[in-house]
Amino acid sequence: MVEPPIIEVRDLTISYDGQPALRDIALDIHRHEIFGIIGPANSGKTSFLRALNRMDGFNPGMEVRGSIRLNGKDINDWRNVYALRSRIGVVLPLPVGLPMTVYDNVAFSPRLRGIRKRAELDEVVERCLTRAALWDEVKDRLDSLGSLLSGGQQQRLTIARALSQEPELLLLDEFSIAVDPVTTMRIEDVLRELRSELTIVLVTNLVQQARRLADRTAFFLMGEMVDIGITEDLFEGKVRDERTTGYIEGRFG
């Protein structure tokens, strides 16, 4: 790959109140790829995502050591953590419709960037809701509360909100937990299209979802990165560690 990676992680160790959750992770994430992370519960997947966005600042017990570079620059050297976070979209397992209208949910981040013109905001809202496969369902009730949509709709609203940040990196943490299978498939189609514009890190419990979406996949187990490689290779048995095949085939986990 000629282009330098968007994310370079070295010696990353994360602990909560002294209890290590993730140890000595080193990996690169390439621009315009979907990078999957699979692994059983408590293997450190979510901690990894939280560290990328410096979400450790929300949680006093969480300690991150090592280096994470975004576009070659250590994320701790960003003069302004808010500017860093605004360039990274996050979608968490449980949807969070903010207690404001559907429109305001999606216009929140553009407004933070200083966009005030109604026409411009209208355009962003429609584009992001369309991309998140939600526009057709909500275009007639943009003024109703985002928190009153169904779970699956709220999750797509969360995705639309993340896209409204115009992020270069999109972090998805088990986004399909609260979403029905049909909608999940629609969102997966959207993610495939988005790959041309941004880079996606996809944490998932669903091994097959990683296979459908991810270009490369890492397997985390009990706080260690056991395996990393081209997704198809892992699924065809070209693994560094037998435990990867064991997990993929559902023999443990």
Partner 1 sequence: MFTATTLNRRSQRAQGVARAVFFLMTVTLVIPVLIIAGTLVVKGGPAISWEFLFSAPRDGMTAGGIFPALVGTVWLVAVALLASVPVGVAAALYLSEYAPDNLLTRTINLAIINLAGVPSIVHALFGVGAFVLFFNIGASILAASLTLAVMTLPVVIVATRESLQAVPQAFREACWNMGATRWQTIRKVVLPNSISGILTGVILEVSRTAGETAPIMFTGAAAFVAFLPNSVLDQTMAMSYHLYYIATQQTGVPEEIPFGVALVLISIVLLMNAISIGFRVYLRGLKKW
- Of the listed pieces 30-38, 124-132, 158-166, 185-193, which binds partner 1 according to CB under 8 A? 158-166
82 counts as binding partner 1 under rule CB under 8 A:
yes
If you search the block for the tokens 């189609």, which residue do you land on? Answer: 189
112 near partner 1, judged by CB under 8 A: yes
* b/e sequence 47-78, b meaning 16+ C-beta within 10 Å: bbbbbbbbbbeeeeebbbebebbbeeeebeee
Of residues 90-109, which lie at the interface with partner 1 (CB under 8 A)?
90, 92, 94, 96-100, 108-109
161 binds partner 1 (CB under 8 A): yes
State how far the Cα of 69 lies from the Cα of 73, in Å rounded to an integer.
Answer: 5
User: Smaller CB distance to partner 1: residue 25 or 84?
Assistant: 84
Region of 35-43, 67-75, 76-84, 128-136 interacting with partner 1 (CB under 8 A): 76-84
Number of Cβ within a 10 Å radius of residue 176: 20
Spatial CA neighbour of 47 closest among 59, 29, 32: 59
Beta-sheet strands, E only, within the chain: 7-16, 19-29, 34-38, 62-70, 73-74, 88-91, 169-173, 199-203, 216-221, 224-230
Closer CB to partner 1, 59 or 208, in the complex? 59
185 binds partner 1 (CB under 8 A): no
Q: Is 53 in the site for partner 1 (CB under 8 A)?
A: yes
With CB under 8 A as the contact rule, the residue among 1, 41, 83, 119 that binds partner 1 is: 83
Shortest distance, position 46 Cβ to partner 1, whole Å? 13
Q: Which two tokens stand for residue 239?
A: 């693994």
3-state secondary structure of 69: strand
Q: Is 71 in the site for partner 1 (CB under 8 A)?
A: no
Of these, 27, 62, 115, 145, which contacts partner 1 (CB under 8 A)? 145
65-22-79-198 Cα dihedral, nearest 10 degrees: 150
Sole binder of partner 1 in the list 67, 86, 130, 150 (CB under 8 A): 86
In the complex, what is the shortest distance from the CB of residue 164 to partner 1, in angstroms, rounded to a whole number?
Answer: 8
Q: What does residue 157 show for φ and ψ, rounded to 5 degrees?
A: -65, -40
Residue from 34, 70, 75, 84 binding partner 1 (CB under 8 A): 84
Distances (CA, A) of 107 to 113, 153, 162, 192: 10, 17, 11, 24
Q: Report d(CA 135, CA 100) in Å as an integer.
A: 17
Interface stretch with partner 1, choices 9-17, 30-38, 160-168, 215-223 (CB under 8 A): 160-168
Q: Which residues bind partner 1 (CB under 8 A)?
A: 53, 55, 58, 60, 82-90, 92, 94, 96-100, 108-109, 112, 145, 147, 158, 161-162, 165
